[in-house]
Amino acid sequence: MSSALDLFRLDGRVALVTGGDKGLGQGIAIALAQAGADVAVVSRSGNATATLESIAAAGRRGVALTADLSSIASIDRIVGETLVQLGRIDILVNNAGIIRRAPAVDYEWNDWRAVIDVNLDAVWALCQAVGRLMIAQGRGKIINIASLLAFQGGIRVPAYAAAKHAVAGVTKALANEWAHLGVNVNAIAPGYMVTDNTQALRDDPERSRQILERIPAGRWGVPGDLAGAAIFLASSASDYVHGHVLVVDGGWLAR
């Protein structure tokens, strides 16, 4: 007899996770494996040894794929490699992202372009490429990693804020088109998390104090805090959830 907890199992499913070698992507990739999925881990370096070891410890298959997501030409290749090595794609997690900080009046065009290329264009291209497969098989789960800056403007990060606002918009637009085809498109908006992208903020005593004082939970988030949200959105438990941006922020937006 099945139970409600069985809705969260991912046995027999295959996930493709970008930026899965460290930080939030690593935490999500491991969580999906622990819930039963095989996982293709995409990273710029291709060095996802620690992630693959944790996936294997969960009894699942993991493969490491190398890609520079600033190049759209890499999208079809990593999708194809996942199909060859793992046979299908049931779950896509668009996690990879970069950040460039500077005052808006001094923001370099190359920095703007680099952030948009990875944080938005690659997300769109992967959604489109994998979405075609999911529509053909009649089901699939796409999880885009947005940000609190899908709701706020931030400070000294105009390209990042623009990209994350757009990720939320693309998530809703695709959900409108694909929900009736069995494809769920949703997003997770992490709060202030302990990752490489926030290192500069955490190294600034004044800025770090200001951020921490506003978080009702009283701490910065860690990658494991996204595990439950990711499993929920990747599983059958979220079959009637479409176009939602799930905030995991320790209460930041409630302030």
For the segment 91-127, what is each residue's pLDDT rounded down to a tens digit? Answer: 999 999 999 999 999 999 999 999 999 999 999 999 9
Residue 253 domain-assigned (yes or no): no
> Is 2 a residue whose pLDDT tops 90?
no
State the Cα–Cα distance between residues 188 and 93, nearest whole angstrom: 10
Domain that holds residue 10: 4-248
Residue 208 domain-assigned (yes or no): yes
Residue 74 domain-assigned (yes or no): yes
pLDDT category at 46 given cuts 50, 70, 90 is confident
Residue 102 domain-assigned (yes or no): yes
- Using alpha carbons only, how large is the chain's radius of gyration in Å? 17
Please state the domain count of the chain: 1
State the catalytic residue, choosing from 107, 160, 192, 240: 160
CB atoms within 10 A of CB 51: 25
> Is 1 a residue whose pLDDT tops 90?
no
Residue 255 domain-assigned (yes or no): no
At 181, which CATH number?
3.40.50.720
Q: pTM to 2 decimals?
A: 0.97
For the segment 171-183, what is each residue's pLDDT rounded down to a tens digit? Answer: 999 999 999 999 9
Annotated catalytic residue 160:
yes
For the segment 139-185, what is each residue's pLDDT rounded down to a tens digit? Answer: 999 999 999 999 999 999 999 999 999 999 999 999 999 999 999 99
